[in-house]
Amino acid sequence: MAIQRSRKLRLHIFGSKVHKWLAVFVGVQALLWMATGTIMSYLKLEHVRSEHVISREPAPLSSEAVLPAWASDASDLVSATTKMVNGRPVMELRSSDGSTSLHDPSTGRVLSPLSRATAEAIALDAWSGPKTTIEAATPVAKPVGTEFNGPFPAWQVQFGDPDATRLYIDASNGAVLAARSDTWRFFDFIWGLHIMDWNERHRINSWWLLLFGIGGTIIAVSGFVLLANRFPKLRRPRAKRT
């Protein structure tokens, strides 16, 4: 006589099967997350980018390079570029130490560091969202929390939009360096929790992350072992006695 299972028992069995099979599919991806995260935490970005064997130092300009008379005496230049800044053509000179400066193409007059008005004009030109105003423009000479680490000097231009968007502009060459907002700050906080770098928010090689990655991988693997033991074993039919 077949035993009638109660509704509660049937739900328990059904839920156990669903949980078991979901654990297989979700567990595989969780194992990949843990294992790959551990490997990435172990590898050094310098080696990943081949920075330990490849030099990316720019070559200095040749003495035969065609330059304006006012710039021909500079011996440490690596590039001379003509570009538009705030609606006017300017020449950007970049030195071997990475520093840049803007000049009037005709006279060579130095135009950098840029003024507050120029920085605000560049920011407004870069803005493509709904119409807004500029709340403040502040010179920046040192890192601003985790949202901006240079180069310096720079301008921080803050818009009056609901997200409090902040634009960082290089005071030496007028380049838009970074755009930050309250949404970015929230994401940055979540990212810091994710990579377990609560201060700098960019280190993925911390020992904390590596240890927790190894621990998570062990938990996932041991979970698969326990899960395998819960699967019903196939029984071979017994041979009939003659």
Vertex 136, ends 139 and 164: CA angle to 5°? 110
pLDDT at res. 100? 92
Q: Are 114 and 101 in contact (CB under 8 A)?
A: no
168: helix, coil or strand? Answer: strand
Going by C-alpha positions, the residue among 154, 151, 147, 150 that lies closest to residue 183 is 147
- The DSSP-derived string for 109-156 is -B--SPPHHHHHHHHHHH--SSS--EEEEEEE-S-BTTTB--SSSEEE
Q: What pTM was computed for the model?
A: 0.73
Chunked in runs of 10, what are the mean pLDDT values of the chain (242 residues)?
A: 66 72 75 80 79 78 84 84 92 91 93 95 93 95 92 96 95 94 91 78 74 78 72 59 56
pLDDT at res. 230? 66
What torsion, rounded to 10 degrees, do the Cα atoms 45, 48, 50, 53 define? Answer: 80
pLDDT at res. 231? 64
pLDDT at res. 1? 46
Euclidean distance between CA atoms 169 and 152, whole angstroms: 9
Reply yes or no: is the peptide bond before residue 143 cis, omega within 30 of 0. no
Q: Are 180 and 168 in contact (CB under 8 A)?
A: yes
